[in-house]
Amino acid sequence: MSARQMHLRVFVLGTGNHIAGWRMPDAYDSFQSLPVIQHIARIAERGCFDLLFLGDGLQAGANDHPSFTARFEPITMLAALAATTTHLGLGATASTSYNEPFNVARYFASLDHLSGGRAAWNAVTSSNPRAAPNFGRDHPPHAERYRVAEEFVDVVLGLWDCWEDGAIVADRATGRYIDAAKVHRLDHEGTYFRVQGPLNIGRCPQGRPIVLQAGSSEPGLDLAARTADVVFSVVQDLDEAKAAYAALKSRLPRFGRRAEDVAVLPGVMPILGRTRQEARDVLDRLQSFVTSTNAASLLSSRLGIDVSGFAPEDKVPDLPLPDTSHGFARAMLSKARREGMTWRDLHNLTGAARGHWVIAGTAADIADTLQEWFEGGAADGFNILPAWFPGAFDGFVDEVVPELQRRGLFRRNYTATTLRGHLGLDMPRSRYG
């Protein structure tokens, strides 16, 4: 039995992570529905998950993944879940390119108070250039987005430190409400932002909300190594996962941090069957639901180039990718070239899990593989991407999680009430305290 414990996050897209998961017969009937997401959250708490996560995007496209086209705004959705869950960490994406740091710091501080210390902010630079016309500006190039993000994250972390513990006195007898000596201005003057502070909300139950990141480029890894508590990697196999794990962990000492300060969670879409054949049949069924239109559109968006002109049966050629493509788009493209895939193969791979690793098998098979990765220097836990909801998630929680628990790899009950507690991270002190 291993003392080290896995961390599990569920990645929630209401229609399922598989682009056509909503077509499964037992998928939910409606997706823009609070009860649906609340139901998913209850499954996650039943499975003792560390964290439920909602991604985000700032644009709609008719042929995109259905949950990218019409979706809840994630900060409001998490706040609703804060009121109806008790232990589950609650993470959401907010862009560093199309927001004000003062506003983002407030949203997540408020979420942390509302949830009693379960909030997490996924800082992203918004890779999709189609966001820009909704904000009346040009999409900044990759390098600039990361320079902005570095400063943006620093401002948010700084704003979260402005209030020390005990600053709110609320002494009825004297009428003294605030101890002004424990409330500090940030006075940040940088290249992209000038932010005076303080924030107008008291210190968070977690000290600071948890910071999530998923960048895989060099600047993305640097930002994550310097500021993140949890990092998500997008990988296709064990070797890639080990490389991504090492790339992040080896960078930590440069920023005065230890390996255990940051959890690295590769994404995985588990496709479960009572037998291996049944699992393969489920995957085949899901893939049969993919239409060429939506797969090509998703692939174009991921790669940052229009691939609708290629025929499905053509082999994927060696293509130059633009600056706006996802880091893992490069990995997918090189895998496709290496394995001699056609565009249809690549559509299917992307449509399934947007470039994440897909594993089909029995509960024991899946637990074996997760254990191998966890013990083999590839993962501190996993970012679980159910292909559809609720069926695929119920299956994971009811069959794979107990298998991991029997092996001593995962908690049987929550032992903390905050996300920081689930992650085993120390409470940070305010820089002013």
Sites for its own copies among residues 337-396 (CB under 8 A): none
The answer to whether 205 and 119 have CB atoms below 8 angstroms apart is: no
- Interface pick for its own copies out of 2, 34, 275, 317 (rule CB under 8 A): 34
Site string for its own copies, 279-318 (x = CB under 8 A): ----------x-x--x------------------------
Which region, judged by CB under 8 A, interacts with its own copies, from 42-50, 100-108, 243-251, 298-306? Answer: 100-108
3-state helix, strand, coil in the chain (%, to 5): 40, 15, 40
For residue 181, what are the contacts with CB-CB under 8 A and spacing of at least 6? none
Can residue 75 be called a binding residue for its own copies (CB under 8 A)?
yes
Of the pair 21, 270, the CB lying nearest its own copies is at 21
Please list the alpha-helical segments (H only) found in 214-342. 218-227, 238-249, 276-288, 292-303, 327-338
Q: Which DSSP string corresponds to 327-340?
A: HHHHHHHHHHHHTT
Strand, coil or helix: 102 = helix
Least distance between its own copies and beta carbon 365 (Å): 29
- Interface pick for its own copies out of 36, 183, 224, 346 (rule CB under 8 A): 183
- Interface pick for its own copies out of 38, 369, 405, 417 (rule CB under 8 A): 38
Residue 183 pairs in a beta bridge with 163
Which region, judged by CB under 8 A, interacts with its own copies, from 52-60, 215-223, 260-268, 356-364? Answer: 52-60
How many positions of this chain bind its own copies (CB under 8 A)? 75
The answer to whether 419 and 82 have CB atoms below 8 angstroms apart is: no
Q: How many CB atoms lie within 10 A of CB 343?
A: 22
Can residue 417 be called a binding residue for its own copies (CB under 8 A)?
no
Least distance between its own copies and beta carbon 25 (Å): 8
Which residue reads 């054949």 in tokens? 277
Of the pair 7, 113, the CB lying nearest its own copies is at 113
Can residue 191 be called a binding residue for its own copies (CB under 8 A)?
no
Please state, in angstroms and rounded to a whole number, the distance separating the CA atoms of residues 243 and 234: 11
Least distance between its own copies and beta carbon 306 (Å): 18
Least distance between its own copies and beta carbon 409 (Å): 33
- Interface pick for its own copies out of 46, 194, 274, 429 (rule CB under 8 A): 194
For residue 403, what are the contacts with CB-CB under 8 A and spacing of at least 6? 363, 364, 366, 367
Contacts (CB under 8 A) with its own copies, residues 128-157: 133-136
Least distance between its own copies and beta carbon 90 (Å): 11
Here the tokens at position 231 are: 């990092």
